[in-house]
Amino acid sequence: MAALDGTPSSGQDAPSAWLGAALAPLRPAYLQALLLSLGISVLGVFAAVFSLQVYDRVIAKGGLSTLVALVTGMVLAIGLEFGLRQARALLMQRLGAQVEVALARAVYERLTCLPLARLESLPPGYWQTVFRDIELVRTTTTGAPALLLVDLPFLLLTLALVGLIAWPMLPVTLLTLAGFGLLAWRSERVLKPGHAQERERLLSRDLLQADLAASRLHLKGLGPSPALGQRWEQAYARWMQDSLARSREMDHYRDLAQGMSVASTVIGTSAGALFILQQLMTMGGLIACNILAGKLVQPMVQLVGQWRVYGQFQAASRRLDELLGHALDRGQAGVALPRPRGTLLMEGLHFRYPGQEQDQISRLSGQIGPLGLHAVVGANGSGKSTLLKLLRGLYPPSAGRVLIDGADLRQFGQLDLAGMVGYLSQQPRLVAGSIRDNIALGLPGASDAQIVAAARQAGAYEFIVQLPQGFDTDVGEGGGRFSGGQRKRIAIAQTLIGDPPVLLLDEPTSDLDSVAEQAFAATLRQLAQDHTVIVVTHSPALLTQCQGILVLDRGSLAAAGPARELLPRLGLATPRPAPAGPTAGAPSGTPSGMPAGPASGGTVRAAGPQPVQEVAA
C-alpha cells in the first residue's frame, strides 16, 4: 500500500523505474551534453596553463612573442568555451522541455484515466504537488544539479593536470578533496533523512490549502472560523519549522564548505611556497595549481549545497513513480460491438469501497430495461450513486457482474462505455472554458447543430442564447458564473450530446425549478421511448413519471417492479394514464401522465423470487 504522497511503504531507495524509462530516449542527447562538458573541462584548464607559461616563460625569460601567442590562444579558448557552454545550455534546455512535456502528458493521462476509486483517493492538493514535482524533476535532471554531476568525472582530468604541472602538490590536493568528500558525505547523511518529514508536512499543508481554496465560498457563508484558522496555522507552522531547521542545517554545511575552501587555498599556497623554497616546483606551477584547485573545490562546495535538491528530487520521483506505475482504465475494447439496445443486467453484484469493512452494495441482482424511464430510490447513503457508478463501469464490482445487452461491462474500455452509457454525476462541475467547450466535452468534435440540440433537450438553450456572448460565454471557475440550476442544465447537455443508448442520471432535477423539472421529465419520457433512462431521484414529480422503480436499502435491493405497484408504497399517487404518444410537447408545469408498467417498453425486475417489500423512500 502506498502513502498519499506516493512514497512506497517499503523499498524507499528503490531506483526510479519510470524516470529511467522516461529519460531513456534522451540518452543520446545526454551523451552529447557529456561530450560538450568534456570540451568545456579541457578548455577550462587553459587558464592554468596560461598562468604557468606567463610566470615561468614570459616573466622569467622575457618572451614577449610567447605572451602574444599565449594571449591569442587564450582568446580562442575563451571564445570556444563560450560557444560550447551556449550549445550545452541550449541542449539542456531542449532536454528539459522534452522531459517536462513527457511527464506532464503522463500525469495528465493519470488525472483523466486512473480508475475512479484511485482518483477519489487523491485530493486536489496531491495533484498540485505532483505538477510541482514535474518542474523539480526537470530542473534537477537538466539544470544546474545535472550539470554538476556531469562535470564531476572531469575533475579527474584537472587532478591529472595538477600532477603534471607540479607533482608535489598532488598529495595536498588529494587530501583537500578527501576533506571535501568527507564533508559532502556527512552533509548528505544529516540532510537527507529529514527530507521525508519536510515533504510530508509540505504535502499536508498543500492538501489543507487546496481544500480551503476550493471551499472558500462555502466557508464565507459559514462566517470566519477561528478553529479552521488555527488548524491551517498549525499545518503551516509545522512545515515552516521543519523547513527552517533544514535550511539552518544546510547553511551550516555550506558555510563550512566555504570556510574549507578558503582554508584549502591557504594550505595549498603555504605548501606550494615550501615546495618552491625547496626548488621542487616553480612560481608558475603554484599559481596554476591554485587555479586548478579552485576548479576542483568549487563543484564540491556546490555539491554540499545541493543535497536538499537531490533529496527533494528523490521524493518527487518516488511520488511520480508510484502515480505513473498505476494501471490506467482501459481506453477501448479490441472489437467494437453494435450499439446496445440498453438492457442492464446485474448478477450477484457486490461492491466495497477500498478500506471499508462492509459492502456498500450487496447481493444485487435484477434487470433494468431495455428502454423506459426507471428510478433508483432509497434513503441517503443507501448506495444509489454507487450503483449508478457500477452500472457505468466506473467501479469494478467486488463480486458479480453487470451486463449490457448480454455483454460483460468489464470487456469495454472507458471510451466504449462513454459512448454506450451517458452518466451525469450527482454534483457535476464545469471546467474553465466556454459553454460550447463544456457541452462538447461529452462528444469531442461535436457540430454546432449537435450542441444546440443537446442544449435544447437539457432546457439550457433559452438562457444560453440570452447571454451577450451566447455559447461562447466563459463559465468561470467550476461554472461559478451560473446558478446551480443553469450549471446542471449545461451538465445535462454534456451527458445527452453523444446520444448514448443508456442514460444514468444522478439527481438530474435536484437544482431545477419546478417548471424546468416538469419540462425535463417530459424530455426524459420522450427519450425513454428509444433509450434506457435510469434516474436517481428523491423528486415526486420525476418519480411519478417513471415506469419502473428500484428501491435500495443499505446497499441491498429492498424492492423492484413497475412504478404503478411501488409508487403507492412510497406514499405517492400513481399518475392517471395519458393518451399514447410523445409527451415532450406537454405544457410546462403540467405533469404528463404515462402508461405505467412495462407496456411502454421499460422493465425493472428483481432476479429470482424476491418479494417486493414495503419501503420508505
Ligand X SMILES: Nc1ncnc2c1ncn2[C@@H]1O[C@H](COP(=O)(O)OP(=O)(O)OP(=O)(O)O)[C@@H](O)[C@H]1O
402-431 residues near ligand X, rule: CB under 6 A: 426
Half-sphere exposure of 318 (CA within 13 A, CB side): 23
- Which residue, among 190, 186, 160, has the nearest Cα to 300 in the 3D structure? 186
In the complex, the smallest distance separating the C-beta of residue 216 from ligand X, rounded to whole angstroms, is: 23
In the complex, the smallest distance separating the C-beta of residue 82 from ligand X, rounded to whole angstroms, is: 58
> In this chain, which of 386, 438, 547, 603 binds ligand X, going by CB under 6 A?
386
Q: Which CB, 376 or 454, lies closer to ligand X? A: 376
In the complex, the smallest distance separating the C-beta of residue 116 from ligand X, rounded to whole angstroms, is: 9
Q: Which CB, 118 or 564, lies closer to ligand X? A: 118
Q: Say whether residue 350 binds ligand X (CB under 6 A).
A: no
Q: Which CB, 13 or 357, lies closer to ligand X? A: 357
In the complex, the smallest distance separating the C-beta of residue 210 from ligand X, rounded to whole angstroms, is: 18
Three-state SS for 292-361 is: HHHHHHHHHHHHHHHHHHHHHHHHHHHHHHHHHCCCCCCCCCCCCCCCCCCCEEEEEEEECCCCCCCCCE
In the complex, the smallest distance separating the C-beta of residue 388 from ligand X, rounded to whole angstroms, is: 8
Q: Which CB, 249 or 553, lies closer to ligand X? A: 553
Half-sphere exposure of 489 (CA within 13 A, CB side): 26
- Which residue, among 6, 558, 544, has the nearest Cα to 321 in the 3D structure? 6
In the complex, the smallest distance separating the C-beta of residue 3 from ligand X, rounded to whole angstroms, is: 18
Q: Say whether residue 382 binds ligand X (CB under 6 A).
A: yes
- Per-residue contact flags (x/-) with ligand X for residues 95 to 124, judged by CB under 6 A: -------------------------x----
Q: Which CB, 302 or 510, lies closer to ligand X? A: 510
In the complex, the smallest distance separating the C-beta of residue 508 from ligand X, rounded to whole angstroms, is: 13
> In this chain, which of 88, 138, 384, 525 binds ligand X, going by CB under 6 A?
384
In the complex, the smallest distance separating the C-beta of residue 399 from ligand X, rounded to whole angstroms, is: 16
- Which residue, among 521, 532, 501, 526, has the nearest Cα to 581 in the 3D structure? 526
575-604 residues near ligand X, rule: CB under 6 A: none
Say how far apart CA 223 and CA 404 lie, in whole Å.
Answer: 48
Q: Which stretch binds ligand X (CB under 6 A): 204-212, 300-308, 376-384, 473-481?
A: 376-384
> In this chain, which of 42, 353, 481, 510 binds ligand X, going by CB under 6 A?
353
Q: Which CB, 120 or 530, lies closer to ligand X? A: 120
Long-range contacts of 274-277 (CB under 8 A, 24+ apart): 275/166, 275/168, 275/169
> In this chain, which of 20, 79, 381, 476 binds ligand X, going by CB under 6 A?
381
Say how far apart CA 113 and CA 119 lie, in whole Å.
Answer: 9
Q: Which CB, 158 or 360, lies closer to ligand X? A: 360
Q: Say whether residue 360 binds ligand X (CB under 6 A).
A: yes
In the complex, the smallest distance separating the C-beta of residue 425 from ligand X, rounded to whole angstroms, is: 10
Q: Which stretch binds ligand X (CB under 6 A): 177-185, 377-385, 430-438, 515-523?
A: 377-385
Element (H, E) at 398: none
Output the nine-digit C-alpha cell for 139: 530542473
In the complex, the smallest distance separating the C-beta of residue 235 from ligand X, rounded to whole angstroms, is: 23
Residue 234 to residues 194, 202, 224, Cα–Cα distance (Å): 19, 12, 17
Q: Which stretch binds ligand X (CB under 6 A): 55-63, 76-84, 380-388, 485-493?
A: 380-388
Q: Which stretch binds ligand X (CB under 6 A): 126-134, 162-170, 244-252, 373-381?
A: 373-381
Residue 381 CA to its chain's centroid (Å): 29
Question: Considering CB under 6 A, how many residues would be counted as binding ligand X?
Answer: 13
- CA–CA–CA angle 155, 169, 262 (5° rounding): 75
Task: Check if the beta carbon of residue 406 is closer than 8 Å to that of residue 567.
Answer: no
> In this chain, which of 141, 385, 495, 532 binds ligand X, going by CB under 6 A?
385
Q: What is the dihedral of CA 344, 350, 351, 357, to 10 degrees?
A: 170
Q: Which CB, 120 or 472, lies closer to ligand X? A: 120
Q: Which CB, 37 or 382, lies closer to ligand X? A: 382
Output the nine-digit C-alpha cell for 474: 466563459
Long-range contacts of 298-302 (CB under 8 A, 24+ apart): 298/261, 299/148, 299/151, 299/152, 299/155, 300/177, 300/180, 300/181, 300/183, 300/184, 300/257, 301/180, 301/254, 301/257, 301/258, 301/260, 301/261, 302/144, 302/148
Task: Check if the beta carbon of residue 492 is closer than 8 Å to that of residue 465.
Answer: no
Report the interface residues with ligand X, using CB under 6 A.
Answer: 120, 353, 356, 360, 378, 380-386, 426
